[in-house]
Amino acid sequence: MTLRELLSEIATPDRQADRVVPPSGHTAWLTGFTAGTMAFLAVFALALSLAAGRLADRWGEALERTATIRISAPEEQMELQTRAVLDLLATTPGVASARALTDAEEHALLEPWFGSDLPLDTLPIPRLIELQEEGEGYDAQGLRQRLAAEAPGAVLDDHLRWRQPLAIAASRLRLLGGVSILLILASTAAMITLAAHASLAANAKVIGVLRLVGARDIYIARAFVRRFTLRALTGAAVGTGAGLLAVALLPSADAAGGFLTGLGFQGAGWLLPLLLPPVAAVTAFLATRAAAFRKLKELT
Amino acid sequence: MIAFDNVAYSYGGGELLSEISLRLTPGSFHFLTGPSGSGKSTFLKLCYAELLPTAGSVTIFDREVRSLGRDEVARMRRRVGVVHQDCQFLDHLPLAANVTLPLAVTGRETNAQDLADLMAWVGLGQLADALPPALSGGERQRAAVARAIITSPDVLLADEPTGNLDWEMSLRLLKLLVELNRMGTTILVATHDLNLIRNAKQQVAARVLRISNRRIQLAGADL
């Protein structure tokens, strides 16, 4: 079946075929409710997946092209080793720039842990040098060897050990979001299949009469399929709307925002959930159609 | 048109019909009689592939029923009008929609005047909008007849069609069946009503089949 035929079958009403199946209360309610609930959850799964994606990108971009050199040396040698490291970096291929963090910047980094009233000036704080990569990047192994020779107190931290677990965690979260959406779709299909089976079984007499007068399976199935598809579409539309509203009401991301406040949609991302109702409808269509033909064979 | 070749049908371990061979030729008119539970309804169901024989072969419109796919069975049934003993309606649809159901399932439009004429002919002109559960047994049976003939089928199978009708309406129904037969429709009526059969034989060359002891035999002139 092509997409065009599928859309035509959903969109083209056959009033006679629609009327032959009596309205059934509990399966209608169940289908609409299931589709609505699942769409609501899918909005959050989608938001989680997109937020995880953004987080992974942000961490990657922020950490991927930078590195830090930490110099721990006696006070009298600190300035000398700092100068030596900066000179060395200036001649290292793949390093775009390097600069030593000022005392104020270092204090600002430590402030969250030690507070503002600690006498940081009296503590032996290592000097930090931030470097920016360029092109293919620098040779970390070679740089470490040169640092050991020129400035024994200098240690290169290329952020790899921080970046990798964070990037893996973020990509796992993104994957989890995608898997959740697939599971939600599968659950929707399973619930609608059950509801369609129940409806077909409850209407065995109707099916018998239709067969008696020469109705083909496709005619009988269509009467059920279209009904379930439209219920799923309506339920999912309501669930998606509710989900979007709930996401919109989450606290907005700000400069100090962590991961949770960034859970939401940005820009064109707000349009993605609008795909959920049609996807739910197509899922319901395929699930009901398969269930209908299977059940009709059983009811021979 | 419909041929049985050494057909048997078993159900629940017992044989209900056995060694049945006969041919319903186009344009023929048959009555089927026999005691209750003798297998008349089963025989009719074999005639439109509602049941499949457990032995032998049934051929409908030159096709052996076991060789028919699901869609082919549906198409075959469009050429066979069936009046069930229990009528079998969709109770949530008005009578007119039930009567036109054989047209609806094939996507054919209903001519309103033809429908009105048919409903009036079976005496249900005022009940087109009524729901089946609100009808009497006789009214339901007449509606079932209307539904069976609305597509002008090649074969009409009727299971006790006059069971709930008064004599006057039974004769009207018989007259309809005779007219249909004269127009070429093959008719098979299962009935207990010997008076109906006697009356029919005055109007048409009807043959009478009797199911006895699981077998079908041609009934004698005593009818």
Of A79, A63, A205, give the one whose Cα is nearest residue A132: A63
Contact yes or no for A58/A44 (Cβ under 8 A): no
Query: Sorting pLDDT into bands at 50, 70 and 90, what band is A254?
Result: low
Of A220, A239, A244, give the one whose Cα is nearest residue A293: A220
Sign of the four-CA dihedral B191, B197, B203, B205:
positive
Contact at CB, B101 and A210, closer than 8 angstroms: yes
Whether this model's ipTM surpasses 0.90 comes out as: no
Sign of the four-CA dihedral A247, A249, A254, A258:
negative
| Residue of chain B minimizing CA distance to A208 | B88
DSSP bridge pairs for A49: none
Res A7 pLDDT > 70: no
Res A15 pLDDT > 80: no
Res A77 pLDDT > 90: no
Query: Sorting pLDDT into bands at 50, 70 and 90, what band is A30?
Result: confident
What pLDDT is recorded for position A152?
A: 86
| Residue of chain B minimizing CA distance to A19 | B93
The Cα–Cα gap between B52 and B64 comes to: 10
| Cα–Cα distance list, A96 to A99, A147, B63 (Å) | 11, 17, 86
A16 touches chain B (CB under 8 A): yes
Mean pLDDT value of segment A73-85: 87
CA distance B199 to chain A (A): 30
Contact at CB, A212 and B88, closer than 8 angstroms: yes
Residue type, A79: E
Contact yes or no for B67/B124 (Cβ under 8 A): no
Helical residues (DSSP H) of chain B, grouped into ranges: 40-47, 70-77, 95-99, 101-104, 112-121, 137-149, 167-182, 194-203
List of E strands, chain A: 66-71, 95-100, 127-133, 154-157
DSSP bridge pairs for B165: none
A206 touches chain B (CB under 8 A): yes
Segments making up each domain of chain A, as ranges: 3-60+164-298, 73-152
Question: For residue B92, which residues of chain A lie inside 8 Å, CB to CB?
Answer: 22-23
pLDDT in tens, A122-146: 778 889 999 888 888 888 888 889 8
The domain B2-218 is placed in CATH, from the list 2.30.42.10, 3.40.50.300, 3.40.630.30, 3.90.1720.10, at: 3.40.50.300
The Cα–Cα gap between B70 and B166 comes to: 38
The Cα–Cα gap between B37 and B50 comes to: 18
Chain A window 21-60: which residues touch B at a Cβ cutoff of 8 Å? 22-23
Contact at CB, A214 and B71, closer than 8 angstroms: no
Flag the least confident range among A190-204, B8-22, B175-189, B208-222. Answer: B208-222
Place of tokens 């309205």: A23
Of A207, A225, A206, give the one whose Cα is nearest residue B93: A206
Query: Sorting pLDDT into bands at 50, 70 and 90, what band is B150?
Result: very high
Of A37, A63, A12, A21, give the one whose Cα is nearest residue A242: A37
Residue type, B4: F
CA distance A207 to chain B (A): 10
Q: Above pLDDT 90, what percent of chain A?
A: 22
Polymer length in residues for chain A: 300
Segments making up each domain of chain B, as ranges: 2-218
Helix axes A276-298, A25-64, angle to 10 degrees: 140
Contact yes or no for B17/B9 (Cβ under 8 A): yes
Res A19 pLDDT > 90: no
The Cα–Cα gap between A296 and B7 comes to: 27
| Residue of chain A minimizing CA distance to B69 | A216
CA distance A188 to chain B (A): 30
| Cα–Cα distance list, A143 to A73, A93, A137, A161, B221 (Å) | 19, 10, 11, 17, 118
Chain A interface, best mutation among B51, B60, B89, B90, by max A CB count within 10 A: B90
DSSP string, B17-73: EEEEEEEE-TT-EEEEE--TTSSHHHHHHHHTTSS--SEEEEEETTEEGGG--HHHH
Contact yes or no for B73/A214 (Cβ under 8 A): no
Q: Chain B residues contacting A, CB < 8 Å?
A: 50, 70-71, 74-78, 82, 84, 88-93, 97, 101-102, 104-106, 147
Question: For residue A22, which residues of chain B lie inside 8 Å, CB to CB?
Answer: 90-92
pLDDT in tens, A188-216: 889 888 888 888 888 888 898 999 999 99
Contact at CB, A206 and B90, closer than 8 angstroms: yes
Opening angle at CA A34, ends A32 and A37, nearest 5: 105
Query: And the tokens for B164?
Result: 């709930």
pLDDT in tens, B84-140: 888 889 999 999 999 999 999 988 888 899 999 999 988 898 999 999 999 988 889
- Across the interface, of A208, A215, A297, the residue whose CB is closest to B105 is A215
What pLDDT is recorded for position B222?
A: 45
pLDDT in tens, B24-42: 999 999 999 998 888 999 9
| Residue of chain A minimizing CA distance to B109 | A16
